[in-house]
Amino acid sequence: MKQWLQIQHELSLRKLIEGSEYQEDLKYDFNIKGELRHLDTNESFVFNYYKSRFEQNHKRYEVLGHFITQYVYELLERVCMLQKVYIPTDATEDEPRSFFFMSKNALTSSSSLIILLQDRGVFCAGQWGQKTIVRDGLRHGTQIPFIKMALQSHWEVIVLNPNDNFVDLRSEKHHFSTREEAVTFTQSVWWIPKRGSSSPEEHTMYVWDHFISKSAAKNVAFIAHGYGGLVFVDLLVQRRCEVMNKVFSVAFIDSVHNTQHQTRNNPQIQEWILKCCREWVSNSKPLNKTVDFLLRTNCPTVSAGTEKCGLAPSCCLHAIFKYLKSSLKAKTVTAFRHSPIATRSSTKKRANK
């Protein structure tokens, strides 16, 4: 953990901000602990920089978010050594494109493949939450600890980018799809959807169809946060047989999916979710303690060990990987038991043929 934080400190968020019109208003950088601090005062980020001017403060925060996004992209490529893959694969030269990240051997290795699927919001690949990064630092708000742990376990990784859905022709800046945002008619004229990624659901389906389903990995696992859980269940419903055959386990974190509604009470899918999924939720109970929900049939649900939603992913990091490794081991043992055992006599018979 300390090693990647030292490397990220060398990259410097400040270098990205320098030269912009906000370089004096955003005198921030991440320290050696991965915390966002003011360069002069060492204080955490202050939203109300301009007194009684909400719009200006909000714009300043948006600009900071843009630089953090670019910085996290650098971390994914230079710290985690992931590759950026542009989609759609058949895009023309001037067509708006989205992208996602994956480890070098994600498609060719037969080892396990972990897919990270984030919540919806104005943040992109590699982030669990922008506010969490600003408030609590890179260790809690980015997906990098999950990526590093997967790679250290000799697993491959794909980091989806489900919120990168539109391009604004007026400024050629990328926009994000959040259901809370009201899009006016004038805005919609200038916002061009990215083919294959116009929504989190479409993005995930595209990457599944063109990459994940064709990968050499026999054991795929998803870690889905918030709205990402709903997106995964949508994928499960749309690609039922493929997903059930290739995915061995799913870890939900504060997911907003609705099993009964999305699956239309399909017993096969509901049974698979019950058997192959587990959810960690923000709760006052200690980590991994069972949490019961009335009027909700889902999968085994346990506490993330924190009541703060933004900290849920980082708090249950080790618990999730312990669960995934246990699930993979159970699957391997079951597969071995059902495989034909080669005896000396059967081997001898085959040799004599």
Q: Where in the chain are the domains?
A: 1-79, 83-167+190-333
Q: What does the alpha-carbon distance between residue 267 and residue 263 come to, in Å, rounded to a whole number?
A: 8
Cβ neighbors of 187 (< 8 A, separation 6 or more) are: none
pLDDT > 50? residue 183: no
pLDDT > 60? residue 350: no
Q: Which tokens sit at 198?
A: 């116009």
- Cα separation values, 340 from 182, 245, 263, 345, Å: 59, 20, 35, 13
Q: Which tokens sit at 19?
A: 């030269």
Q: Give the pTM.
A: 0.88
Q: Is residue 132 exposed (0-12), middle (13-18) or buried (19+ Cβ within 10 Å)?
A: buried
Q: What does the alpha-carbon distance between residue 346 and residue 337 come to, in Å, rounded to a whole number?
A: 18
Q: What does the alpha-carbon distance between residue 237 and residue 268 come to, in Å, rounded to a whole number?
A: 10
Q: What does the alpha-carbon distance between residue 160 and residue 138 come to, in Å, rounded to a whole number?
A: 18
Instruction: Count the helices and strands in the chain (H runs, E runs).
Output: 15, 13
The class of domain 83-167+190-333 in CATH terms is alpha beta
DSSP class of residue 112 equals -
Q: Is residue 30 exposed (0-12), middle (13-18) or buried (19+ Cβ within 10 Å)?
A: buried
Cβ neighbors of 24 (< 8 A, separation 6 or more) are: none
Q: Contact at 8 Å (CB) between 107 and 214? A: yes
Distance of CA 348 to the CA centre of its chain: 50
For residue 34, give the amino acid letter: G
DSSP class of residue 301 equals E
CA dihedral 120, 126, 129, 133 (to 10 degrees): -160
What does the pLDDT read at residue 276? 97
DSSP class of residue 127 equals B
Q: What does the alpha-carbon distance between residue 75 and residue 127 come to, in Å, rounded to a whole number?
A: 11
Q: What are the residues facing 28 on neighbouring strands?
A: 38
What does the pLDDT read at residue 4? 58
pLDDT tens-place string over residues 325-334: 999 999 877 7
Q: Which tokens sit at 185?
A: 């008619």
pLDDT tens-place string over residues 125-170: 999 999 999 999 999 999 999 999 999 999 999 999 999 999 877 6
Mean pLDDT of the 311-325 span? 98
Q: How many CB atoms lie within 10 A of CB 349?
A: 10
* Overall size of the chain counted in residues: 353
What does the pLDDT read at residue 336? 62
Q: Contact at 8 Å (CB) between 233 and 256? A: no
pLDDT tens-place string over residues 256-309: 999 888 998 899 999 999 999 999 999 999 999 999 876 666 899 999 999 999
DSSP class of residue 124 equals -
Q: Which H/E stretch holds residue 51?
A: none
Q: What does the alpha-carbon distance between residue 323 and residue 279 come to, in Å, rounded to a whole number?
A: 11
What does the pLDDT read at residue 299? 93
User: What does pLDDT average to over the chain?
Assistant: 88
Nearest to 277 by CA among 307, 257, 306: 257
